[in-house]
A and B are shown apart, each in its own frame.
Chain A
Amino acid sequence: MAKSPDQEHPCKAFGWAARDKSGLLSPLCFSRRENGDEDVTIKILFCGVCHSDLHVAKNEWGFTNYPVVPGHEMVGTVMKVGSDVKKFKVGERVGVGVIVGSCKKCESCQQDLENYCPQTIFTYNSHYTDGTKTYGGYSDMIVVDERYVLRFPDNLPLEGGAPLLCAGITVYSPMKYYGMTEPGKHLGVAGLGGLGHVAVKMGKAFGLKVTVISSSPKKETEAIERLGADSFLVTSDPAKMKAALGTMDYIIDTVSAVHPLLPLLSLLKLNGKLVTVGLPDKPLELPIFPLVLGRKLVGGSDIGGMKETQEMLDFCAKHGIAADVEVIQMDYINTAMERLAKSDVRYRFVIDVASSLSQ
């Protein structure tokens, strides 16, 4: 007979979980595995609220296994290390992102692309190698194989750095892979939310010209004055869209709602690349003529491997890049989720787990 969450493992843990597709979160007592030889036990200090947390809490993708403790943008301090752990010691600041396991043997794992391993184990709503469910960072502690733990740079603020563990790597990885890093080239960032605002900052750090492409005119001042974008394009302004046709080398599309691709494809130059990192729950319409006539491409990308995630954190530390966050208490999470669904946040909620999570 299956054990209850709080009896599955020897270490008591506490967090907030969604129990059904209302997505409403409430306290859950559960448990974490014993710290193994290659494991690190982490006291969680902060955890970012990613839009994926909302999708999964509400079973919008159809594969949620309740109860689910979301959260895959966590930072904390090391409490314990296993005997074979080499990279970390007690007291260090660390981060855990979207994955906590992979097969370690396949071609992807051998190339440090654990995110493309067919047996990737996600930080929450997955099954670990022992068959038990994984629980995420809306909780007080976590036990993770050291390979999937990131060293958190000293000069990165904990709250602002936490969202980089998903939002940051999700835009950094395709920017590198698709070659969107040549100084002087023109990057469009579609969607100015958690991912988009980090993409703007990274784009500027790479020396790119950055245009934010958004459906909300009211984000313009923010985008230009605070985030440093070079220009702002409202998709519903036909004159401005027309003037921008064929001007961008690449576009990162962070929009997770279903949306038309034709206007974005038209903004690209010859050989332009539209890379989508948002996860709409239905297919998008892909007009083929613009692809063919301009030798353009639409590509996807999914977070990044562990090595690249570390590289991204170090890059952000070097360039002073952190997310813009609104720190909340754990018991605000349901309101935060509602606001997130309406994109009413600049630009990531981060839960102050350590000071607000109590049994």
Chain B
Amino acid sequence: MAKSPEQEHPQAAFGWAARDPSGLLSPFKFSRRTTGEKDVKFKVFFCGICHSDLHSVRNEWGFSTYPLVPGHEIVGEVVEVGSKVEKFKAGDKVGVGCLVGSCGSCDSCHDQLENYCPKMILTYGAMYHDGTMTHGGYSNMMVVDEHFAIKFPQNMPLDAGAPLLCAGITVYSPMKFFGLDHPGIHLGLVGLGGLGHVAVKFAKAMGVKVTVISSSPGKREEALQRLGADAFLISSDTNQVQAAMGTMDGIIDTVSAVHPILPLIGLLKQNGKLVLVGAPDRPLELPVFPLIFGRKIVAGSCIGGIQETQEMIDFAAKHKITADIEVISIDYVNTAMDRLAKGDVKYRFVIDIGNTLKEA
């Protein structure tokens, strides 16, 4: 007979979980595994709220199992390390992103691309090696294999750095892989939310010219004055779009709703690349003529490997890049989810777990 979440493992833990597709979160007692010889145990200080958390708690992708403790932008402090752990010691600041495990033996794992391992284990809602469900960062503590723990830079604020663990790597990885990361490149960024605003900052640090492509005119000043984008384009304004046709080397599209990509393909130069990092729940329409006549590509990208996540966070620390956040208490999380669903946040909620998550 299956054990209850509280009894599954030896170390007591608590957090907030969604129990059904309403997505409403509430206090939840569960447990974490013993700190194994390669594991790092840490207390959670902050956890970013990623749009994926919202999709998952509401079962919008159709594969959620409940109860579900979301959260994969987790930052905390190490309290215990296993006997074979080399990279961490008690007191170190540590981060955990979207992955907590992979097979370790496939080509992807060997190439430091654990995010493409067919057996990758997500931080929440997935089955761990021991057959139990993983629970994420809306919780007081975690035990994680050292390989999947990120050394958190000393000079980076914990709360504003947390969202980089998913939002940051999700845009950093394709910028590097698709060569959209150096001076001379003109990059379009679709969507100015959690991912988009971090992408603007990374791009400027890389010397890239940035045009933000948005459906919200109200974000223009933000984008240009505060975030440092070079230009701002309203996607529904045909004149603006027309004027920018054929000017971009690449576009990173962070929008997860279904939306037309024909105008985006038109904005690309010849050989241009449209990279999707948001995953709409239905197929998009792909107009083939413009791809063919401009030798353009549409590609996807999914977070990044652990080594690359470390590289990304070190890059962010070097350039003093963090997310723009609204820190909230855990009690506010359901309201935050509603606001997130409406895009009403600049630009990431981060839960102050350390100070506000108290066992009921």
| A285 partner, pick from B283, B291, B296, beta carbons under 8 A | B283
Q: Which residues of A contact B261 (CB under 8 A)?
A: 286
Nearest CB of B to A305, in Å:
11
A280 and B276: CB pair below 8 A? Answer: no
Q: Which residues of A contact B107 (CB under 8 A)?
A: 270
- A301 located at the interface, meaning its Cβ lies under 8 Å from any Cβ of chain B in the complex: yes
A292 and B284: CB pair below 8 A? Answer: no
Q: How far is the CA of A292 from the CA of B289 in the complex (A)?
A: 22
- B299 located at the interface, meaning its Cβ lies under 8 Å from any Cβ of chain A in the complex: yes
- B199 located at the interface, meaning its Cβ lies under 8 Å from any Cβ of chain A in the complex: no
B299 and A298: CB pair below 8 A? Answer: yes
Contact with A along B268-309 (1 / 0, CB 8 A): 001001001111100111111111111111111110000000
A280 and B302: CB pair below 8 A? Answer: no
- A243 located at the interface, meaning its Cβ lies under 8 Å from any Cβ of chain B in the complex: no
B292 and A108: CB pair below 8 A? Answer: no
Beta-carbon contacts under 8 Å, B63-121 to A: 107-108, 113, 116
Beta-carbon contacts under 8 Å, A259-293 to B: 261-262, 270, 276-280, 283-293
B177 and A295: CB pair below 8 A? Answer: yes
B293 and A302: CB pair below 8 A? Answer: yes
A283 and B299: CB pair below 8 A? Answer: no
Name the residue of chain B whose CB is nearest to the CB of A275: B297
| A289 partner, pick from B108, B279, B288, beta carbons under 8 A | B279
B284 and A288: CB pair below 8 A? Answer: yes
Interface centre among B107, B261, B262, B284 (most CB of A within 10 A): B284
Q: Which residues of A contact B279 (CB under 8 A)?
A: 288-289, 292
Q: How far is the CA of A297 from the CA of B272 in the complex (A)?
A: 12
Contact with B along A282-318 (1 / 0, CB 8 A): 0111111111111111111110000000000000000
B116 and A298: CB pair below 8 A? Answer: no
For B, the interface residue count at a CB cutoff of 8 angstroms equals 34
Q: Which residues of B contact A286 (CB under 8 A)?
A: 261, 283-286, 298
Nearest CB of A to B305, in Å:
11
Q: Which residues of B contact A298 (CB under 8 A)?
A: 286, 291, 297-299
B286 and A284: CB pair below 8 A? Answer: yes
| A270 partner, pick from B116, B293, B296, B299, beta carbons under 8 A | B116
Q: How far is the CA of A300 from the CA of B113 in the complex (A)?
A: 27
B295 and A270: CB pair below 8 A? Answer: no
Name the residue of chain A whose CB is nearest to the CB of B276: A288
Nearest CB of B to A306, in Å:
16
Q: Which residues of A contact B262 (CB under 8 A)?
A: 283
B287 and A292: CB pair below 8 A? Answer: no
A294 and B300: CB pair below 8 A? Answer: yes
Beta-carbon contacts under 8 Å, A184-207 to B: none
**Beyond the given A116-B293, A177-B295, could you list 20 further A-B residue pairs with CB under 8 A, ordered by the A residue number?**
A116-B270, A270-B116, A276-B288, A276-B292, A283-B262, A285-B286, A286-B284, A288-B278, A288-B284, A291-B276, A291-B298, A292-B277, A292-B279, A292-B300, A293-B302, A296-B299, A296-B300, A298-B286, A298-B297, A300-B293
Q: List 24 A-B contacts (CB under 8 A).
A: A113-B270, A116-B270, A262-B283, A270-B108, A276-B292, A280-B288, A283-B262, A283-B285, A284-B288, A285-B284, A285-B286, A286-B298, A288-B278, A288-B280, A293-B116, A293-B300, A295-B300, A295-B301, A295-B302, A296-B299, A297-B298, A298-B298, A300-B290, A300-B292
The 4 closest A-B pairs by CB, nearest first: A291-B300, A300-B291, A292-B300, A300-B292
